[in-house]
Amino acid sequence: MIMLQRSHAALALEASAIPRLPDSKTPRLLFIGEGISLAHVARPAVLGRWAREAGYDVAFACGPAYAAVARAEGFDPISLTTILPETFHKRVAAGKFFYTSSELDEYVRAELEIFDRVKPDLVVGDFRLSLDVSTTLAAVPLLSLSNAHWSPVAACRFPPPRAGPMGFLPSALRNRLFDAIRFLALRYFAVPLNLVRRRNGLQELHDFREHFCAGNWCAYLDVPDLYPKLRDGGVKILPAGHFFLGPVVWEPHSQCPLALEVLGPERPLVYVTLGSSGNTDALPDVLRTLVELGCSIALSGVDKAQEAALRRSIPVLEGRCVMAPLFDPRPVLEHARLTVCHGGSGTVYQSLAAGVPVLCLPGNPDQALVAAAAEEQGVGRTIDPADTSVDMLRSIRGVLATMIYCGCCARAARRMSEALARHDTRRRWLEFLSRVEPVPF
């Protein structure tokens, strides 16, 4: 394994720290996205496009589920072995680890075959947990993409599973119990990954977060302002090679235009989207409540059949809601007073960049951690969509009313927008590459 000693100040990296091609050759970068959600393909695809525009030789690999996203960024993606998104999300919902050790073994074999064909000088991976094994075996440097809440030095208070015995406990008791055993869950989730490491003669890692962030470097796709306790000079010291790169938000190149003018300007506009992996169970209740509160709605992520079903079941949406499978949210966010979403980092950052607060209904632990960070910084609120009780519906109505009409979280969201405007992720990314793999000119 290539062992590099670096400061966590991130971009102050020695250009000679890793083996290089001769100066006459352009470095080849291989980006790998694990296709279990749109974000894990979209984020490396955007970074790959930026690198290609800067003169790098770029290859991209992903599974079939979100390959169209990579194609939209100009890549002809290499086919990659991956589990189905449905399999991944069923395991998450059941409180199980995402992969079996045999699946991870197959991942490693597939990656080594791609390395042999592509011969990369640097691999960049997003949620591809086997890459630290395969890149170590191939002696290729690895940059892992992650969010700051998965850092080994973060509090990482991901929620307890609702499946199994814990699902029968009251919410307060379940949370207290899981607080006491969360460290065991982190170790338990590392077991299949450590089995694969042992079979390949590599040292085991302590818990799941170390696997998530493993590599020569780990880039947090966040602004420090959302995670101030991890900020350089804050109360935490980042591990060597870890740094804040900044949010990477993918936007569709072909959008369905929305006829926002049919909604009229007299009602407050709310942007609603539950992304590619959100829990849609609470969506009808949210839409009904927004109409009852006098709002107009721009709803993203529904196809024609879903739109027809929603309009049949909620007739009051007529004239109050525009819907489309996918659209550029920026024109909506220019006028929106609130975003209701699943807590995915892409949507949260899109909204905060526009100074729009977020109400999150997270459907998995990663979304819950993003939502928790937003709530802690006062830019959003969180409601558990799995709780379908009358109290939850009353809570939704109260929170929506407070955020829409009383300006709850609006001031903090505007401050976060200013911080995002100052943070140039693209510039930081190209500065990182120039120190690690400079392009010859």
Q: What is the pLDDT of residue 397?
A: 86
Query: Do 208 and 63 share a domain, yes or no?
Result: yes
- In terms of Cβ atoms closer than 10 Å to its own Cβ (0-12, 13-18, 19+), residue 223 is buried
- pLDDT at residue number 234: 54
**What phi and psi, each to the nearest 5 degrees, are found at residue 295?**
-100, 160
pLDDT (tens, 9 = 90+) of the chain, 441 residues, equals 333 323 333 333 333 333 343 444 899 999 999 999 899 999 999 999 999 999 999 999 999 999 999 999 999 999 999 999 999 988 888 878 899 999 999 999 999 999 999 999 999 999 999 999 999 999 999 999 999 999 999 887 777 776 666 666 677 777 777 777 777 778 888 899 999 999 999 999 988 899 999 999 999 999 999 999 886 545 468 899 999 999 999 987 655 667 777 787 889 999 999 765 556 778 888 899 999 999 999 999 888 898 999 999 999 999 899 998 888 889 899 999 999 999 999 999 999 999 999 999 998 889 999 999 999 999 999 988 766 555 667 778 889 999 998 989 999 999 999 999 999 999 999 999 999 988 775
Q: Looking at the 3D structure of the chain, how many domains does it have? A: 2
Structural domain of 163: 28-247+423-436
Same domain membership, residue 284 and residue 194: no
Give the pLDDT score at 18.
Answer: 34
Tokens of 214: 């493993």
CATH of the domain at 112: 3.40.50.2000
In a domain, 4, yes or no: no
Identify whether the C-beta of residue 193 lies closer than 8 Å to the C-beta of residue 211: yes
Asked whether residue 235 falls in the same domain as residue 333, the answer is no
Tokens of 51: 């690198």
Q: What share of the chain is helix, strand, coil (3-state, %, to 5)?
A: 45, 15, 40
Q: List the one residue out of 401, 426, 256 whose CA is nearest residue 340.
A: 401
Is the same domain home to 228 and 205? Answer: yes
